[in-house]
């Protein structure tokens, strides 16, 4: 959530910054609400001064033994007016909060201009895409040949956009997640977290998924209590660890990593990536979350992104790093790097990780703050998150980049200790 004081002091600058994202915002609504708030608060101050003056006069009148009934009637009228103003002011502030809750984060000045992913800025590339001397198969054909993907059974169980993995493919999927967790905890200093997969609405509000993106979530109604939601990413419960807390500055930074399933309705992606494991209702991610001092958060973004890149490098998967333009930023992000892995069957790079600094945007929604070491008023922390990596898409990349002409798949050398030393996944027909 944006700082309401920033809007009040210089909303035109905020308006120009948010215009870089595209879309439309009803700023006239903000102006109307603010104008009424100012008028109401000015009237309230006048009424309070009048009440104080009348109360003093009542006291003087009684001290003299004079009739104060008329003054008491005026006091009652002023009190009633103040109560009406308080009710209306509370309603106005609620409307302003609702308006603020719909506003996305302000892009960092170094975020490039642009309207879509076509305008994203490539920062670097690592690795050289492999040249094949045989027809390249996509991950679905490879996994089915390994006896490891059952699309028809998954559809019978749950409908479209679900997968059933079996045998070596299921084992490879699990090994990838465990490999990522171990690298991030042992080499990068993150603390492993096993969070709930169901959360309350206020938890999703804290990280910005509600109210704006309700249609992308799976809601679990309960007859006897508040509805729960399946998490769309571990970012939601893990970032909310610091909700409603005031940390000591010495506690920062906090670095968390979690491996969870993620559930997304994919409401706006009809017809996209319907084949295979790229875009599903249920998938798994290893998520990195950092809680940082505001002075350190952009150095932390570079570090977090490098930690996600390290997984791709260890697996030998070619990728590119891009800085998202303003029009392609996520709702909560002030700056984002996407990592895109090379997929031979698509002959292109596809997103496998988004690493974002939300600055104080989520912290204000969560009331997550820290107390400066030198004293003073608590300040919002900065929160960051990134996939380290999306497990299903990493599985896709390994299957396609390490495929062999005979239908087998070589296990990346770095991953073999998590596969019990297994070096090759053999086709079902050869077992």
Q: What is the CATH number of the domain that holds 30?
A: 1.10.287.40
Q: Radius of gyration over alpha carbons of the chain, in Å?
A: 28
Claim to verify: residue 343 and residue 372 sit in the same structural domain? yes
Q: Is residue 109 part of a domain?
A: no
Q: Is 351 a catalytic residue?
A: yes
Report whether 385 belongs to an annotated binding site. Answer: yes
Residue 302 has pLDDT above 60, yes or no: yes
pLDDT given at position 267: 67
Q: Compute the distance between CA of residue 323 and CA of residue 337 in angstroms, rounded to an integer.
A: 5
424 token code pair: 């090759």
329 token code pair: 């930023």
pLDDT given at position 20: 97
Residue 2 has pLDDT above 90, yes or no: yes
> DSSP letters of 170-219?
HHHHHHHHHHHHHHHHHTS-PEE----SEE-HHHHHHHT-TTTTGGGS-E
Q: Compute the distance between CA of residue 322 and CA of residue 192 in angstroms, rounded to an integer.
A: 27
Report whether 348 belongs to an annotated binding site. Answer: no
CB 98 within 8 A of CB 50: no
CB atoms within 10 A of CB 338: 25
Q: Compute the distance between CA of residue 233 and CA of residue 221 in angstroms, rounded to an integer.
A: 19
Report whether 284 belongs to an annotated binding site. Answer: no
List pLDDT tens digits, range 227-269.
Answer: 999 999 999 999 999 999 999 999 999 999 999 999 999 866 6
Q: Compute the distance between CA of residue 288 and CA of residue 297 in angstroms, rounded to an integer.
A: 14
Q: Is residue 395 part of a domain?
A: yes
Claim to verify: residue 360 and residue 214 sit in the same structural domain? yes
Q: Is 223 a catalytic residue?
A: no
Q: What is the number of domains present in the chain?
A: 2
Beta strands 319-323 and 121-126 are: antiparallel
387 token code pair: 């996939």
Choose, from 297, 354, 356, 408, the residue flagged as catalytic. Answer: 354
Report whether 240 belongs to an annotated binding site. Answer: no
Claim to verify: residue 121 and residue 265 sit in the same structural domain? yes
Residue 419 has pLDDT above 60, yes or no: yes
Claim to verify: residue 133 and residue 84 sit in the same structural domain? no
Three-state DSSP at 301 gives: helix
Please name every residue paired with 341 in a beta bridge, in sequence order, or none if there are none.
319, 350
CB 318 within 8 A of CB 125: yes
Report whether 234 belongs to an annotated binding site. Answer: yes
Q: Residue 384 — φ and ψ, nearest 5°?
A: -135, 155
pLDDT given at position 70: 84
Q: Is residue 110 part of a domain?
A: no
Residue 67 has pLDDT above 90, yes or no: no
Claim to verify: residue 90 and residue 205 sit in the same structural domain? no
Claim to verify: residue 317 and residue 188 sit in the same structural domain? yes
User: For the chain, give me the number of helices (H) and strands (E)?
Assistant: 11, 16
Report whether 53 belongs to an annotated binding site. Answer: no
With 0-12 / 13-18 / 19 or more C-beta atoms within 10 angstroms meaning exposed / middle / buried, residue 391 is: buried
Please name every residue paired with 209 in a beta bridge, in sequence order, or none if there are none.
none
Claim to verify: residue 140 and residue 229 sit in the same structural domain? yes
Q: Is residue 155 part of a domain?
A: yes
pLDDT given at position 271: 64
Report whether 305 belongs to an annotated binding site. Answer: no
pLDDT given at position 268: 63
Count the alpha carbons within 13 Å of 395 in the hemisphere toward its beta carbon.
31
338 token code pair: 């996407």
Q: Residue 211 — φ and ψ, nearest 5°?
A: -90, -10
List pLDDT tens digits, range 336-361.
Answer: 999 999 999 999 999 999 999 999 99
Domain carrying residue 31: 26-101
Claim to verify: residue 149 and residue 40 sit in the same structural domain? no
Claim to verify: residue 310 and residue 209 sit in the same structural domain? yes
| Rounded alpha-carbon distances, angstroms, from residue 375 to 8, 247, 367 | 27, 12, 19
Kindly report the CATH number assigned to the domain that includes residue 406.
Answer: 3.30.930.10
> DSSP letters of 41-75?
HHHHHHHHHHHHHHHHHHHHHHHTT---HHHHHHH
Residue 19 has pLDDT above 60, yes or no: yes
Q: Is 279 a catalytic residue?
A: yes
CB 107 within 8 A of CB 13: no
Choose, from 20, 137, 243, 264, the residue flagged as catalytic. Answer: 264
Claim to verify: residue 77 and residue 131 sit in the same structural domain? no
On average, the pLDDT of the chain sits at 95
Q: Compute the distance between CA of residue 209 and CA of residue 327 in angstroms, rounded to an integer.
A: 18
Report whether 423 belongs to an annotated binding site. Answer: no
391-401 vs 167-186: helix crossing angle, rounded to 10: 120
Instruction: Please confirm whether the linkage preceding 128 is cis (ω < 30° from 0).
Output: no
CA 155 vs. chain centroid, Å, equals 29
Choose, from 43, 144, 150, 351, the residue flagged as catalytic. Answer: 351
Report whether 387 belongs to an annotated binding site. Answer: yes
Q: Is 393 a catalytic residue?
A: yes
| pLDDT greater at residue 4 or residue 267 | 4
Choose, from 8, 37, 88, 279, the residue flagged as catalytic. Answer: 279
Report whether 265 belongs to an annotated binding site. Answer: yes
Choose, from 20, 393, 400, 408, the residue flagged as catalytic. Answer: 393
pLDDT given at position 225: 87
pLDDT given at position 66: 83
Report whether 351 belongs to an annotated binding site. Answer: yes
Per-residue pLDDT averaged across 277-283, rounded?
95
List pLDDT tens digits, range 72-129.
Answer: 888 899 999 999 999 999 999 999 999 999 999 999 999 999 999 999 999 999 999 9
Residue 431 has pLDDT above 60, yes or no: no
Q: Is 21 a catalytic residue?
A: no
Instruction: Please confirm whether the linkage preceding 253 is cis (ω < 30° from 0).
Output: yes
List pLDDT tens digits, range 378-403.
Answer: 999 999 999 999 999 999 999 999 99
* pLDDT-above-70 percentage for the chain: 98
Q: Considering 101, 130, 154, which residue would you say is the last residue of a domain?
A: 101
Residue 58 has pLDDT above 90, yes or no: no
Q: Is residue 160 part of a domain?
A: yes
Report whether 233 belongs to an annotated binding site. Answer: yes
Residue 164 has pLDDT above 90, yes or no: yes
Distance separating the N- and C-terminal Cα atoms of the chain: 56
Q: Compute the distance between CA of residue 398 and CA of residue 400 in angstroms, rounded to an integer.
A: 6
Q: Is residue 15 part of a domain?
A: no
Stated as kind and residue range, the H or E segment containing 262 is strand 254-263
Residue 428 has pLDDT above 90, yes or no: no
């Amino acid at each position: 959530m944006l700082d309401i004081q920033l809007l009040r002091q210089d909303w035109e600058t905020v308006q120009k910054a948010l215009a870089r994202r595209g879309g439309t915002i009803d700023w006239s609504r903000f102006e109307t609400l603010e104008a009424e708030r100012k008028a109401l608060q000015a009237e309230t101050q006048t009424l309070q001064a009048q009440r104080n003056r009348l109360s003093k006069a009542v006291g003087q009148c009684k001290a003299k033994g004079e009739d104060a009934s008329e003054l008491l009637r005026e006091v009652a009228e002023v009190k009633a007016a103040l109560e009406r103003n308080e009710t209306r002011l509370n309603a106005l502030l609620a409307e302003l909060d609702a308006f603020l809750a719909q506003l996305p984060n302000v892009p960092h000045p170094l975020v490039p201009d642009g309207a879509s992913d076509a305008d994203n800025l490539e920062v670097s590339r690592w690795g050289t895409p492999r040249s094949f001397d045989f027809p390249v198969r996509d991950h679905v054909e490879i996994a089915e040949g390994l006896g490891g993907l059952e699309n028809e059974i998954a559809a019978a169980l749950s409908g479209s956009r679900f997968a059933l993995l079996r045998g070596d493919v299921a084992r490879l999927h699990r090994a990838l997640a465990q490999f990522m967790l171990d690298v991030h905890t042992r080499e990068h200093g993150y603390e492993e977290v096993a969070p709930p997969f169901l959360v309350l609405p206020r938890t999703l509000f804290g990280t910005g998924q509600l109210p704006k993106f309700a249609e992308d979530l799976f809601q679990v109604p309960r007859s006897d209590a508040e509805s729960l939601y399946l998490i769309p990413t571990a970012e939601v419960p893990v970032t909310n660890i610091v909700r409603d807390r005031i940390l000591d500055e010495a506690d920062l930074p906090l670095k968390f990593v979690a491996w969870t399933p993620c559930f997304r309705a994919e409401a706006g992606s009809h017809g996209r990536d319907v084949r295979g494991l790229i875009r599903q209702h249920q998938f798994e991610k290893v998520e990195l979350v950092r809680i940082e001092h505001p002075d350190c958060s952009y150095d932390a973004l570079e570090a977090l992104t490098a930690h996600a890149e390290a997984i791709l490098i260890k697996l030998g998967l070619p990728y590119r790093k891009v800085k998202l333009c303003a029009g392609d930023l996520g709702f909560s992000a002030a700056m984002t790097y996407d990592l895109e892995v090379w997929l031979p069957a698509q002959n292109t790079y596809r997103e496998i990780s988004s690493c974002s600094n939300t600055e104080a945007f989520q912290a204000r929604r969560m009331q997550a703050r820290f107390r400066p070491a030198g004293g003073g008023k608590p300040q919002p922390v900065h929160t960051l998150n990134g996939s380290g990596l999306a497990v299903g898409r990493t599985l896709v990349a390994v299957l396609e980049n390490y495929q062999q002409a005979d239908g087998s798949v070589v296990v990346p050398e770095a991953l073999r200790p998590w596969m019990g030393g297994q070096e090759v996944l053999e086709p079902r027909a050869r077992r």
